[in-house]
Amino acid sequence: MPSPNRAAQPAAVALKLLAYALRILAVLMCALTVLLCFSGISAKLNLVSFVVDLTRALPDVISGYGVVATPFGGVFRLDFALCAVALFVLDYLCCRIAARLRR
């Protein structure tokens, strides 16, 4: 009969993979937040339609919240920064739960 730890291994691996995916999404969200601070970069990369779609995908409570103009001609998107923080927190929680399942 398998031990309880051995039975929880697939769930721990799945949570670890989910954590990696969340971490990658959080880093990409941080990079997007920084890129939007500079108007020239966001225009050259044609990020406008992607940003509009991403803004529509966010919950209405934080969508468009904290859009601040920067001296570089772009905008700082607090809603994207908050989304990145939430993704990092979910990543941390998945890692902690996976570690507990492995014990």
Amino acid in position 17: L
Residue segments in the chain with a per-residue pLDDT below the cut of 70: 1-5, 7
Q: What is the pTM of this model?
A: 0.86
pLDDT at 5: 67
pLDDT at 31: 96
pLDDT at 97: 94
- Bridge partners, 77 (sequence order): 67
**Cβ(76)–Cβ(36) below 8 Å:** yes
Angle between helices 4-35 and 78-102 (to 10 degrees): 160
Residue-range domain boundaries for the chain: 4-102
